[in-house]
Amino acid sequence: MMELTRKGEYAVRGIIHLARQPYGNVALLSDIAEEADIPQTFLAKIFQQFAKLGFVNSYRGSGGGFSLARPASTITLRQVVEAVEGPIAPNRCIPEADACQRSATCAVHTVWRRVQLQALEILDGVTIEELARESNIQ
């Protein structure tokens, strides 16, 4: 439970593989999808979201593909995950306080908030550059 979906996992794997390319290099979606072992049409949707958010540049037509739009060291794991999964929160009442009218006086609520803050602190502190450098994902 409370697990990343495939979409989130693919987003992370996909952008790490893109970050492995020489910076500025335009890579084919089909190549990234194959290397990262992700269904190509699914990864296409994810990279489209990344393009809208300014994480990657996309180029159409012959010779086209995707490249990182910013240095990998400026993209955090949190940003990537939240781009496709929405706000990171362990309970409904955390991203939307009015999801529960008890939140003002609820001690459980404050526990979930602590969990969220710890998770965000970790994910904010990890960049795609580190992950691309340290990981040896096939």
Q: Which residues bind DNA (CB under 7 A)?
A: 1, 5-7, 28-30, 39-42, 44-45, 47-48, 51-52, 58-66
CA-to-CA distance for 81 and 49, rounded, in angstroms? 12
When CB distances are held under 5 to 8 angstroms depending on the partner's kind, the choice from its own copies, DNA, ligand SF4, none that residue 41 binds is DNA
Shortest reach from residue 121's CB to ligand SF4, in Å: 19
Shortest reach from residue 23's CB to its own copies, in Å: 19
Number of Cβ within a 10 Å radius of residue 68: 24
Does 113 interact with ligand SF4 (rule: CB under 6 A)?
no
Shortest reach from residue 63's CB to ligand SF4, in Å: 30
Sequence-distant (≥ 6) Cβ neighbours of residue 110 within 8 angstroms: none
CA-to-CA distance for 115 and 112, rounded, in angstroms? 5
